[in-house]
């Protein structure tokens, strides 16, 4: 019905709809701003992976000194001890040491349960994230220095 | 309130505009810089750790035993006598190709090795014969592609 009164009512409704949208936009803006400031966080899994690799190389107790791997220290118990993973820190490291010709010298794992989760890395919806890198290393074996390759795989929780 | 023609008052429209402008200002001044600052800090920490890892690789390269002592001795000889260039190139190529395939880049003064230059080189100073030279290594391409695609 289009009489004068009805026309005014329709205009009022249009205005009310406009204000409802306006209030929704303002409320959304404030809630987004608030949640951004409260939940602003760094994606820590990648940092943890990098830190794990750094810890292995920087500690003389773990692999050896000055980046030279002492083959006598390359076993699970020693690496577990030097890495000292706290119970609440969900990180696993797999280390594969081989010669420059590719022949495997040894494999060691820190936190085997976490390393076992590597099969899920890259899967959609996986709770684990993997980082792999390869370092050229020198290996000290019985006073002799050899050239080698250290393949490192770090598995962390997705956070 | 409606004016006589049933439309928004100018003052009302201006008020709406002010609220939008205020929200935009909050977003630009507080939200975006905060998020990008956190991202920048995350990148800086990752780059610092990446640099430390690769300095170990460079140190191992310099300490690698060769006929004349180690690679740093060979570089010293090359810097005073260019006839050692072939030997240095051969040793370096053999070593890094075996480890990283072609997914690496090593810049050794005027000598360059590999093609994997992603602009993420980590450099350490090396005392040259005339001036300080740098040895730079970039293995980021290997970390992106992995062993299957590089070797």
Complex prediction ipTM = 0.75
Residues A67, A27: one domain? no
What's the burial of A141, exposed, middle or buried (CB within 10 Å: 0-12/13-18/19+)? middle
Residues A103, A151: one domain? yes
By Cβ distance, the residue of A15, A29, A54 closest to B53 is A54
By Cβ distance, the residue of A11, A26, A102 closest to B6 is A11
Residue B41, chain A, CB below 8 Å: the answer is yes
Residues A28, A55: one domain? no
Residues A95, A149: one domain? yes
By Cβ distance, the residue of A47, A66, A100 closest to B98 is A100
Cα A143–Cα A149–Cα A155 angle in degrees, nearest 5: 120
Report B:106-135 residues touching A (Cβ under 8 A): none
Segment B70-128, tens digit of pLDDT: 999 999 999 889 999 999 999 999 999 999 998 999 998 888 999 989 888 888 888 77
Residues A35, A101: one domain? no
Cross-chain residue pair A12–B19, CB shorter than 8 Å: no
**Domain ranges (residues) in chain B:** 10-150
Segment B125-141, tens digit of pLDDT: 887 766 678 899 999 89
Domain count, chain A: 2
Residue B60, chain A, CB below 8 Å: the answer is yes
Most confident of the ranges B7-11, B41-45, B56-60 = B56-60
Probe site for chain A from B8, B27, B99 (most A CB atoms < 10 A): B99
Q: Nearest-CA distance from A93 to chain B in Å?
A: 15
Q: Which residues of A touch B (CB under 8 A)?
A: 7-8, 11-12, 15, 22, 26, 29, 33, 36-37, 40-43, 46-47, 50-51, 53-54, 57-58, 66-68, 100-102, 132-138, 145, 147, 149, 151
Q: Nearest-CA distance from B119 to chain A in Å?
A: 18
Q: What percent of chain B has pLDDT over 90?
A: 33
Which residues of B fall within a CB distance of 8 Å from A102?
Answer: 98
Residues A63, A124: one domain? yes
Residues A51, A17: one domain? no
The domain in which residue A103 lies consists of 44-157
Pseudo-torsion of CA A58, B49, A137, B102, nearest 10°?
180
Residues A8, A68: one domain? no
Contacts of B72 (CB under 8 A, 6+ apart): B62, B63
Residues A59, A129: one domain? yes
Residues A115, A149: one domain? yes
Which residues of A fall within a CB distance of 8 Å from B23?
Answer: 26, 29
Residues A58, A121: one domain? yes
| Rounded alpha-carbon distances, angstroms, from residue A150 to A57, A72, A96, A153, B118 | 11, 15, 6, 10, 22
Whole-number average pLDDT of chain A: 82
């Amino acid at each position: 019905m289009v009489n004068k009164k009805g026309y005014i009512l329709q205009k009022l409704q249009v205005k009310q709809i406009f204000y409802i949208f306006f209030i929704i936009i303002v409320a959304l803006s404030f809630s987004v701003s608030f949640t951004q400031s409260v939940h602003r966080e760094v994606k820590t899994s990648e940092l943890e992976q990098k830190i794990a690799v750094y810890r292995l190389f920087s500690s003389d107790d773990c692999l050896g000194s000055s980046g030279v791997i002492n083959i006598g220290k390359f076993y699970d118990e020693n690496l577990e001890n030097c890495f000292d993973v706290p119970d609440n820190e969900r990180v696993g490291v797999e280390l594969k040491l081989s010669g420059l010709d590719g022949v495997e010298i040894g494999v060691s794992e820190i936190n085997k349960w976490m390393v076992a989760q590597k099969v899920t890395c890259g899967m959609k919806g996986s709770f684990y994230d993997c980082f792999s890198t390869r370092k050229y290393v020198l290996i000290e074996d019985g006073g002799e220095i050899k050239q080698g390759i250290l393949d490192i795989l770090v598995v962390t929780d997705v956070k | 309130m409606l004016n006589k023609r049933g439309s928004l008052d100018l003052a009302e429209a201006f008020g709406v505009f002010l609220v939008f402008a205020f929200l935009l200002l909050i977003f630009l001044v507080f939200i975006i810089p905060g998020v990008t600052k956190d991202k920048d800090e995350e990148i800086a920490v990752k780059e610092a750790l990446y640099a430390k890892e690769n300095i170990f690789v460079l140190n191992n390269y310099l300490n690698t035993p060769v006929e004349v002592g180690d690679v740093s001795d060979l570089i010293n000889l090359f810097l005073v006598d260019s006839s050692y260039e072939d030997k240095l190139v051969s040793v370096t190529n053999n070593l890094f190709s075996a480890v990283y395939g072609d997914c690496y880049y090593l810049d050794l003064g005027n000598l360059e090795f590999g093609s994997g230059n992603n602009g993420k080189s980590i450099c350490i100073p090396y005392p040259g014969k005339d001036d300080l030279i740098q040895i730079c290594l970039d293995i980021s391409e290997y970390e992106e592609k992995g062993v299957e695609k590089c070797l």
